[in-house]
Amino acid sequence: MQDRYWTLETGGGIQASGDKRSSNALFGLTWQSDGSVAFRANNGRYVITKRSGHLYATSDTIDETCKYYFYLVNRPILVLKCEQGFVGYKSASSPKLECNKATYETIQVERGEKGVVYFKGQNNKYWHADSECITADSDTPEGFYLELREPTRLCIKTTNGHYIVASKNGCFRVGDSNIESATQWEY
Protein backbone atom coordinates (compact mmCIF):
# COMPACT_ATOMS: atom_id res chain seq x y z
CA MET A 1 0.00 0.00 0.00
CA GLN A 2 1.59 3.29 -1.15
CA ASP A 3 4.90 1.45 -1.72
CA ARG A 4 4.87 0.03 1.80
CA TYR A 5 4.65 -3.64 2.78
CA TRP A 6 1.92 -4.89 5.06
CA THR A 7 3.71 -6.18 8.14
CA LEU A 8 2.82 -8.00 11.31
CA GLU A 9 3.35 -5.71 14.29
CA THR A 10 3.64 -6.46 18.02
CA GLY A 11 0.22 -7.43 19.36
CA GLY A 12 -0.90 -8.95 16.06
CA GLY A 13 -1.79 -5.73 14.25
CA ILE A 14 -1.22 -5.46 10.51
CA GLN A 15 0.14 -2.13 9.32
CA ALA A 16 1.29 -0.90 5.92
CA SER A 17 4.53 0.36 7.43
CA GLY A 18 7.30 -1.88 6.09
CA ASP A 19 9.83 -0.22 3.83
CA LYS A 20 11.60 -3.48 2.98
CA ARG A 21 10.80 -7.16 2.71
CA SER A 22 10.89 -9.10 5.95
CA SER A 23 9.51 -12.32 7.41
CA ASN A 24 6.73 -10.29 9.05
CA ALA A 25 5.62 -9.14 5.58
CA LEU A 26 5.05 -12.72 4.38
CA PHE A 27 1.51 -14.11 4.38
CA GLY A 28 0.31 -17.55 3.36
CA LEU A 29 -2.87 -17.93 1.33
CA THR A 30 -5.31 -20.59 2.50
CA TRP A 31 -8.03 -21.16 -0.10
CA GLN A 32 -11.46 -22.18 1.24
CA SER A 33 -14.11 -24.36 -0.38
CA ASP A 34 -16.54 -21.42 -0.58
CA GLY A 35 -14.18 -19.49 -2.86
CA SER A 36 -12.77 -17.29 -0.11
CA VAL A 37 -9.15 -16.99 0.94
CA ALA A 38 -7.65 -16.54 4.40
CA PHE A 39 -4.26 -14.97 5.09
CA ARG A 40 -1.95 -16.64 7.59
CA ALA A 41 0.61 -14.29 9.11
CA ASN A 42 4.14 -15.06 10.26
CA ASN A 43 2.85 -15.68 13.82
CA GLY A 44 0.80 -18.66 12.54
CA ARG A 45 -2.51 -16.92 13.05
CA TYR A 46 -5.11 -15.81 10.53
CA VAL A 47 -5.78 -12.18 9.66
CA ILE A 48 -9.19 -10.92 10.76
CA THR A 49 -11.02 -7.71 10.00
CA LYS A 50 -12.25 -5.90 13.11
CA ARG A 51 -15.48 -3.91 12.97
CA SER A 52 -13.37 -0.76 12.83
CA GLY A 53 -11.82 -2.05 9.59
CA HIS A 54 -8.42 -2.69 11.15
CA LEU A 55 -6.59 -5.92 10.40
CA TYR A 56 -5.18 -8.19 13.11
CA ALA A 57 -3.48 -11.59 12.87
CA THR A 58 -5.08 -13.05 16.00
CA SER A 59 -7.34 -15.91 14.96
CA ASP A 60 -6.40 -19.57 15.40
CA THR A 61 -9.27 -20.73 13.18
CA ILE A 62 -10.86 -19.49 9.98
CA ASP A 63 -14.27 -17.91 10.55
CA GLU A 64 -16.26 -15.26 8.67
CA THR A 65 -13.99 -12.43 9.91
CA CYS A 66 -11.00 -14.16 8.24
CA LYS A 67 -12.53 -14.63 4.80
CA TYR A 68 -11.63 -12.46 1.84
CA TYR A 69 -12.57 -12.81 -1.82
CA PHE A 70 -10.17 -12.81 -4.75
CA TYR A 71 -10.81 -11.03 -8.04
CA LEU A 72 -8.54 -10.16 -10.91
CA VAL A 73 -8.91 -6.39 -10.95
CA ASN A 74 -8.97 -4.60 -14.31
CA ARG A 75 -9.01 -7.94 -16.15
CA PRO A 76 -12.31 -8.13 -18.11
CA ILE A 77 -10.64 -10.41 -20.68
CA LEU A 78 -8.67 -13.54 -19.93
CA VAL A 79 -6.44 -15.77 -22.05
CA LEU A 80 -5.66 -19.21 -20.60
CA LYS A 81 -2.71 -21.44 -21.41
CA CYS A 82 -1.59 -24.83 -20.08
CA GLU A 83 1.18 -27.27 -21.02
CA GLN A 84 -0.83 -28.47 -24.04
CA GLY A 85 -1.52 -25.01 -25.45
CA PHE A 86 -4.13 -22.26 -25.34
CA VAL A 87 -7.83 -22.59 -24.55
CA GLY A 88 -9.89 -22.15 -27.69
CA TYR A 89 -12.83 -23.50 -29.66
CA LYS A 90 -12.57 -27.01 -31.10
CA SER A 91 -13.64 -25.57 -34.46
CA ALA A 92 -15.10 -22.33 -35.76
CA SER A 93 -18.63 -23.76 -35.69
CA SER A 94 -18.37 -25.63 -32.37
CA PRO A 95 -19.03 -24.16 -28.92
CA LYS A 96 -16.83 -26.88 -27.37
CA LEU A 97 -13.59 -25.61 -25.84
CA GLU A 98 -10.25 -27.41 -25.90
CA CYS A 99 -6.93 -26.58 -24.31
CA ASN A 100 -4.42 -27.60 -26.98
CA LYS A 101 -4.74 -24.75 -29.45
CA ALA A 102 -1.82 -22.92 -31.06
CA THR A 103 -3.77 -19.65 -30.97
CA TYR A 104 -5.87 -18.31 -28.14
CA GLU A 105 -9.47 -17.24 -27.79
CA THR A 106 -10.30 -14.35 -25.51
CA ILE A 107 -12.59 -15.12 -22.60
CA GLN A 108 -14.81 -12.41 -21.18
CA VAL A 109 -14.84 -12.30 -17.37
CA GLU A 110 -17.87 -10.98 -15.47
CA ARG A 111 -17.65 -10.41 -11.74
CA GLY A 112 -20.30 -11.89 -9.44
CA GLU A 113 -20.77 -11.83 -5.67
CA LYS A 114 -18.34 -13.21 -3.06
CA GLY A 115 -15.53 -14.16 -5.41
CA VAL A 116 -17.66 -15.72 -8.14
CA VAL A 117 -16.79 -15.00 -11.77
CA TYR A 118 -18.64 -15.90 -14.95
CA PHE A 119 -16.93 -16.68 -18.26
CA LYS A 120 -18.26 -15.87 -21.73
CA GLY A 121 -16.92 -17.03 -25.04
CA GLN A 122 -16.46 -14.85 -28.10
CA ASN A 123 -19.90 -16.03 -29.20
CA ASN A 124 -21.33 -14.10 -26.20
CA LYS A 125 -22.53 -17.33 -24.54
CA TYR A 126 -21.60 -18.42 -21.02
CA TRP A 127 -19.43 -21.40 -20.19
CA HIS A 128 -21.13 -24.64 -19.20
CA ALA A 129 -18.80 -27.15 -17.52
CA ASP A 130 -19.18 -30.84 -16.74
CA SER A 131 -16.97 -33.92 -16.42
CA GLU A 132 -17.01 -34.43 -20.20
CA CYS A 133 -16.15 -30.97 -21.53
CA ILE A 134 -16.61 -27.22 -21.28
CA THR A 135 -18.74 -25.45 -23.85
CA ALA A 136 -19.55 -21.80 -24.43
CA ASP A 137 -23.21 -22.32 -25.28
CA SER A 138 -25.29 -21.33 -22.28
CA ASP A 139 -27.60 -18.34 -21.85
CA THR A 140 -27.37 -18.78 -18.07
CA PRO A 141 -24.16 -17.86 -16.22
CA GLU A 142 -22.37 -20.63 -14.30
CA GLY A 143 -20.12 -19.51 -11.44
CA PHE A 144 -16.42 -20.23 -10.99
CA TYR A 145 -13.75 -19.22 -8.47
CA LEU A 146 -10.21 -18.15 -9.34
CA GLU A 147 -7.41 -19.23 -7.00
CA LEU A 148 -4.06 -17.52 -7.42
CA ARG A 149 -1.39 -20.21 -7.05
CA GLU A 150 1.75 -18.55 -8.43
CA PRO A 151 2.42 -15.02 -9.67
CA THR A 152 1.33 -15.93 -13.22
CA ARG A 153 -0.75 -19.08 -12.62
CA LEU A 154 -4.18 -19.72 -11.24
CA CYS A 155 -6.60 -22.58 -10.73
CA ILE A 156 -10.25 -22.43 -11.73
CA LYS A 157 -12.80 -24.08 -9.46
CA THR A 158 -16.52 -24.63 -9.91
CA THR A 159 -18.88 -23.46 -7.17
CA ASN A 160 -19.27 -27.19 -6.35
CA GLY A 161 -15.57 -27.30 -5.40
CA HIS A 162 -14.21 -29.19 -8.41
CA TYR A 163 -11.24 -27.92 -10.41
CA ILE A 164 -11.01 -27.38 -14.16
CA VAL A 165 -8.39 -29.71 -15.63
CA ALA A 166 -6.54 -30.12 -18.91
CA SER A 167 -5.75 -33.47 -20.49
CA LYS A 168 -2.94 -34.28 -22.92
CA ASN A 169 -5.51 -34.87 -25.69
CA GLY A 170 -6.79 -31.30 -25.30
CA CYS A 171 -9.84 -32.23 -23.25
CA PHE A 172 -10.88 -29.27 -21.11
CA ARG A 173 -13.30 -30.34 -18.35
CA VAL A 174 -14.27 -30.46 -14.69
CA GLY A 175 -12.07 -32.79 -12.63
CA ASP A 176 -12.19 -33.61 -8.94
CA SER A 177 -11.80 -31.50 -5.80
CA ASN A 178 -8.14 -32.40 -5.23
CA ILE A 179 -5.84 -29.41 -5.74
CA GLU A 180 -2.99 -31.78 -6.62
CA SER A 181 -4.78 -32.83 -9.83
CA ALA A 182 -5.91 -29.30 -10.76
CA THR A 183 -4.37 -27.58 -13.75
CA GLN A 184 -2.51 -24.38 -13.02
CA TRP A 185 -3.42 -22.06 -15.88
CA GLU A 186 -1.08 -19.40 -17.11
CA TYR A 187 -3.07 -16.18 -17.58
**Which CATH number applies to 5-69?**
2.80.10.50
Q: Report whether pLDDT(92) > 90.
A: no
What confidence score (pLDDT) does residue 72 get? 87
Q: What is the value of pTM for the model shown?
A: 0.88
Whether 1 shows a pLDDT value over 90: the answer reads no
pLDDT of residue 170: 94
pLDDT higher than 90, residue 108: yes
Residue 89 parent element (H or E): strand 85-89
- Assess contact for 62 and 30: CB atoms under 8 A: yes
| % of the chain residues with pLDDT over 90 | 91
Q: Which 3 state secondary structure label does DSSP give 92?
A: coil
Measure the CA–CA gap between 156 and 52, rounded to whole angstroms. Answer: 33
Name the CATH code of domain 77-186 (choices 2.60.120.40, 3.40.50.720, 2.80.10.50, 3.40.50.300).
2.80.10.50
CATH 2.80.10.50 maps onto the chain at: 5-69, 77-186
Q: For residues 110 and 117, is the Cβ–Cβ distance under 8 A?
A: yes
**Residues 6 or more apart from 179 whose CB is under 8 A from it?**
31, 155, 163
Q: Find the mean pLDDT for residues 82-96.
A: 94
Say what the pLDDT of residue 126 is: 98
